[in-house]
Chains A and B, each alone.
Chain A
Amino acid sequence: MTTTIIFTIVSLSVLGLLLAVILYAVAQKFKVEEDPRIDDVEAIMPGANCGGCGFAGCRAFAEGCVKTSDLSTMFCPVGGNETMKKVASYLGVEVPEKQPQVAVVRCAGTCDNRPKLNHYDGYSSCAVMASLYAGDTGCKYGCLGQGDCELSCMFDAIKMDPKTGLPEVDEEKCTACGACVKACPKMIIELRNKGIKSRRIFVSCINKDKGGVAKKACAVACIGCTKCQKVCPFDAITISNNLAYIDYNKCKLCRKCVTECPTGAIWEVNFPVRVPKKEEEVVNE
């Protein structure tokens, strides 16, 4: 009885020792050399693994940062400039400061502005709906309202408003990772500079139809009338395919186009309420 137990213990111990030696030898032989800095850079990362930087996750991004000598093309939208500065100082390189961005929904086709013409009862997904037909309103460019952007957001920053049927972005939570931009089959959402004091001006429409057709489908559509282009002192507005687009790098937030727009397609965000009969404040840099 005792000999059996002793024999078992001894034989298993010898076997264990033998295997440990083999494992150690193999581990030494096939050791993967990895830059220890990758671990450190990864520790600086926010760890959201959202993929907004274009890499597969935070570790892949850290690896990319360590391998490249030029950090100007690398940017972590979640951590922003602060994180990038930390990474740069750790690696001992320079990094240019980037304007913070935010997701902007360029459709104002609420149920009142853009009446529904038919009823969609298929699977509730914008991608599926867009593959079937142009949408349940007269505008074939506008928001489909099934909430693919909401599902794609990892930061709970974009939500469908049940009243308007349109998504709304929470500026505080939005990290500009671009997941919603990719999720939207109609390409309505755009990443734009957050602007000074979070003030922004943008065209809240992407309808490329001729003015009459666009206006018939939606009360607040851009009709491509070129009024805003003429009034803009900074040449920030371009018009192509009956649609105005404001270049956020050129726009100085003077708000002249907002008052000029006959349909109200140009939106201003986070500006103080206008005081009537007083000359308009021009916000400069």
Chain B
Amino acid sequence: MSKTFSLGGIHPNDNKISANAAIEEFPLVDTAFVALNQHLGAPAEPVVAKGDKVLAGQLIAKASGFISANIHSPVSGTVSAVEFLPDMAGNAVQHVVISVEGDEWLPSIDRSPVIVKDIKLSSEEIIAKIAEMGIVGLGGAAFPTHIKLSPPPGKKAEFLIVNGAECEPYLTSDYRIMIEMPEQILIGVKLMMKALKVDKAYVGIEENKPVAIKKMKEIAAASYPEIKIVSLKKRYPQGGEKQLIDAIIKRRVPSMGLPIDVGAVVQNVGTALAVYEAVQKNKPLVDGIVTVTGSCMKEQRNFRLRVGTTFDKIMFAIGGFPKDAVKLISGGPMMGKAVSRTEASSTKSTSALLLLTEEETKRGEESNCIRCAKCVDACPMGLEPYLLNRLSRQGKTAELEENMVQDCIECGCCLYSCPANIPLLDTIRYSKAQVIRIMRSRPKK
């Protein structure tokens, strides 16, 4: 019997049209533009200057501050500039620009396909290694993994929950790694279990990926009996931390709380793979699996893509922008962000590029709220989106806080289900940021 979370959720068409495209290596580009704010928290500080020679995998920017991550060169070549360039939203971000010369990797990195199973390092050494290699959460938020694996004092992790739900429509990058590299993922999970000192781990996978469930179950049963593969019902937003915890261990994370408050740590399967490569193979996070998909494309692709590849180059590699595509989204259709500049480059957390046609992306005309409460039924956090929208338009931050706008996970279920096409998410997301800013500015008790 498959499990699922208890509140809200929607069932969008999953559109996994790129599921059968095997992962292919993306061709080397001539210039890499590596952004220095690829993670949540403070941007990294560059440690290279113009004219420096770098090898692939070499450290080019150091973490600056508690929440931050190291950044390594994805290519080998010469640094041609360290400058501020627009990111995909048009905001100026410091980039290290590297002209590519050949493909030479640091000699310490093991790039052979041999699977290293023995775990030699201790818990602290694993966390230090993850921090050194600049691993961040690949589920979307890009939160530095080493911080998530070191629970604050007084709190103890009981479970490691690994997210293989991939509930966003269109995305297939997690699916592909689960069927192409299941053993590596499970070793990554083992490494994180050791780092957290927990003896139970669950990997949640939605039922629309039967091949992945079967493969992972087989390998887990044969060599990793402490890792349970859990089959989940297909439902969005199952991959949200709080929803996944609810679905698998039936615990509810308190408002404004973290998963660690209920004894859980949630990581993505992509992160597990990156942890395996970092700890066992010495390879920093310099590439990721990226789905390039869209109904307007002739051929669906899954690439292993180096960080810092411009979206222009990716479009070139798939044979140019399809004629009827009008919108390019980095990520899935529900939570992804529209790309406003194609000269921007991919980051560690880029999981997909989605091309949508005019018809698919069109917003209907807004009409009045008829209080049908479809948004209330759909909200997985138990909020009342129609009310928050109204309060947001009136700028009533105190009442927004009373109505828990800060708990919104920005999944977009309300907007998806609204028959009156009200831009609920747009207004609520803005107010959420405003309210959280106000809450943080208050003196701490």
Contacts and interface: CB of A to CB of B under 8 A. Distances in A.
A209 to B, nearest CB: 8
A131 interface: yes
Nearest to A134: B90
Q: How large is the interface on A (under 10, 10 to 19, 20 to 34, 35 or more residues)?
A: 10 to 19
Nearest to B90: A134
Contact of B92 (A125, A135, A140): A140
Given A121-B363, A122-B423, A123-B423, A133 B90 contact: yes
A128 B340 contact: no
A117 interface: yes
Contact of A128 (B91, B92, B361, B430): B430
Interface string A116-144: 01100111010110011111100010000
A122 B430 contact: no
A146 to B, nearest CB: 11
Contact of A136 (B340, B363, B429): B340
A136 B338 CA distance: 12
Nearest to A132: B89
A11 B413 CA distance: 63
B433 interface: yes
A190 B433 CA distance: 26
B427 interface: yes
A131 B430 contact: yes
A133 B423 contact: no
Interface string A215-254: 0000000000000000000000000000000000000000
Contact of B340 (A118, A127, A131): A118
Nearest to B422: A123
Contact of A133 (B89, B361, B427, B433): B89
B341 interface: yes
B299 interface: no
Interface string B86-130: 100111100000000000000000000000000000000000000
Contacts of B218: none
Contacts of A117: 340-341
B426 interface: yes
Nearest to A135: B90
Interface string B349-363: 000000000000101
A134 B89 contact: yes
Contact of A122 (B91, B92, B426): B426
A140 B91 CA distance: 7
Given A117-B341, A118-B340, A134 B86 contact: yes
A127 B430 contact: yes
Interface in B361-393: 361, 363
A131 to B, nearest CB: 5
B341 A128 contact: no
Nearest to A128: B430
A134 B427 contact: no
A134 B430 contact: no
Nearest to A124: B423
Given A132-B89, A134-B90, A140-B92, A123 B340 contact: no
A179 to B, nearest CB: 12
A203 B265 CA distance: 54
Nearest to B427: A123
Given A117-B340, A125-B430, A131-B433, 5 more contacts: A117-B341, A127-B430, A133-B89, A140-B90, A140-B92
The 9 nearest A-B residue pairs measured at CB: A134-B90, A123-B426, A133-B89, A123-B423, A128-B430, A118-B340, A122-B426, A128-B426, A134-B91
30 contacts: A117-B340, A117-B341, A118-B341, A121-B361, A121-B363, A122-B423, A122-B426, A123-B423, A123-B427, A125-B426, A125-B427, A125-B430, A128-B426, A131-B429, A131-B430, A131-B433, A132-B89, A133-B89, A133-B91, A133-B338, A134-B86, A134-B89, A134-B90, A134-B91, A134-B340, A135-B90, A136-B340, A140-B90, A140-B91, A140-B92
